[in-house]
Structure 1
Amino acid sequence: MSNSLSQFIIENGLEQNLLSAMQTEGFVTAMAAAPNLIDPSEWLAFMWGGEEESPFSTHEQLEAYANIIVNLWNEQRQALLSNAWTWPEECQLSDTEIVNEATREYCEGLLQGWTLARDDWETIMPEDSEDNALLGGVLLSISLMFDPESAFAAMEEQGAADLAQFEEIFNAMPVMLCGLTMRALQRAEDQ
């Protein structure tokens, strides 16, 4: 995770006003993976719940935060398109809870970001396309990491519960997310 993001949130006492650093990083990653570039000015307010008025006390504070977010977007976009994206260090599997809280928060942010870009995804990878299976696989994997207990219980009912499957999904996520991002860019350029 970007230390400057966590540090900024804490130093400015904004923990109650902004998404957590991990949720923010997940959200920004979803925006960086989106098939069409969406100007940060269109989604930055989602970081503070979509309220019209930002929680920042000065324009300089807002500008500093926006710069951190744009830099994070640039880093994530570059990593995704160069097949170098990995889970943030804080995101880990857990022996007791399947995944740790950081992973859940990151996936929550990813899912929130996906919903914002949903129309673009559905346009570029329509339901009847083979690319839609890749998109669906990535979204399912993110959802499993966000709520692994429910997924595990459902798998258990089917007699297919195995914690090793979560490890496989977690480990495959970088390849899947990078592949999806590169495929979406290719499709967008083809249109």
Structure 2
Amino acid sequence: MHIHPLSPSEFEFIEDTLLKYGNDHSVLNPSELEGYFTALVSSPAQIDIAEWFPAIFGGQTPQWQTPEECRTFIDLCVRLLNTLAAQLTTEPQAFKARFEQTEHAGQPLALAQEWCFGYLRGVAVGNWPALPEPQALQLQKISDCAEQDNFDLPVDLDVVLHRQQVAAIEPAARALQGYWVAQR
């Protein structure tokens, strides 16, 4: 499989499309979409597009303005999915999650909540069974971060702890992907 990662303009198209057709139950940005796809490619079984695509839009199929718009969006989603699958399989240590970025108290800060929320959406769509304790602890690192409110960071945020929690997410995602690949 030839890996052709998405360009910034292609991610912009994805973001615009998600905003245009999204609702309260949809994936809302590229970070959440990447988390979602990371969980799907890490699932115990392959998930068919007929299952994962409607879940992007909260179970509803958008009323596309043109067939070309739909085709382009699906093509970009499949490319992103395949890029993540190839990267996690062939170069897992090079895997970098697409976290949102902000600034807090004059310092750059990664926000992982949306990526993690997308990951948990993928776990649900993939219908993951109960995990053994070591893997359940890895999933808990992702799930704990999905529950954080990164939209209104407290003034007294423990930046060091926050960064440690965010730093644990990529290794957890790699460990979960490795576990499920070994089970297939």
Q: Give the drift of 1:110.
A: 0.9
- Asked whether the 8 Å contact 1:32–1:77 carries over to 2, the reply is yes
**Relative to 1, partners in 2 of residues 1:43 and 1:149: Cα closer, same or farther, differing over 3 Å?**
closer
User: What's the TM-score once normalised by structure 2's chain length?
Assistant: 0.74
Q: Give the drift of 1:71.
A: 0.5
User: What's the TM-score once normalised by structure 1's chain length?
Assistant: 0.71
**Structure with greater Cα Rg:** 1
Q: Give the drift of 1:175.
A: 2.1
Please point out which of 11, 35, 38 is paired with 1:5.
Answer: 11
Q: Give the drift of 1:65.
A: 0.7
Matching of residue 39 in structure 1 with residue 48 in structure 2? yes
Question: Any unmatched runs of 5+ in structure 1?
Answer: 151-160
Aligned-pair identity (%): 20
**Relative to 1, partners in 2 of residues 1:69 and 1:134: Cα closer, same or farther, differing over 3 Å?**
farther
Counterpart AA for 2:11:
L
Report the RMSD for the aligned CA atoms in angstroms: 2.8
Matching of residue 87 in structure 1 with residue 97 in structure 2? yes
Report what 1:133 is aligned to.
Answer: 133
Distance 1:9 1:138 in 2: 28
Distance 2:119 2:14 in 1: 21
**Relative to 1, partners in 2 of residues 1:23 and 1:58: Cα closer, same or farther, differing over 3 Å?**
same
Distance 1:175 1:76 in 2: 15
Mapping for residues 108-119 of structure 1, pairs under 5 Å: 108-118=117-127
Distance 1:65 1:147 in 2: 29
Counterpart AA for 2:79:
N
Structure with greater helix share of residues = 1
Which whole-Å deviations, capped at 9, do the CAs of 1:33-67 have from their partners, x for residues lacking one? 1121112232101111111x323122221111111
Which whole-Å deviations, capped at 9, do the CAs of 1:124-164 have from their partners, x for residues lacking one? xx45xxxx2233122211122222359xxxxxxxxxx9653
Counterpart AA for 1:25:
E
- Asked whether the 8 Å contact 1:80–1:177 carries over to 2, the reply is no
Question: Any unmatched runs of 5+ in structure 2?
Answer: 151-156
Distance 2:149 2:34 in 1: 23
**Relative to 1, partners in 2 of residues 1:135 and 1:92: Cα closer, same or farther, differing over 3 Å?**
farther
Question: Aligned pairs, how many?
Answer: 163
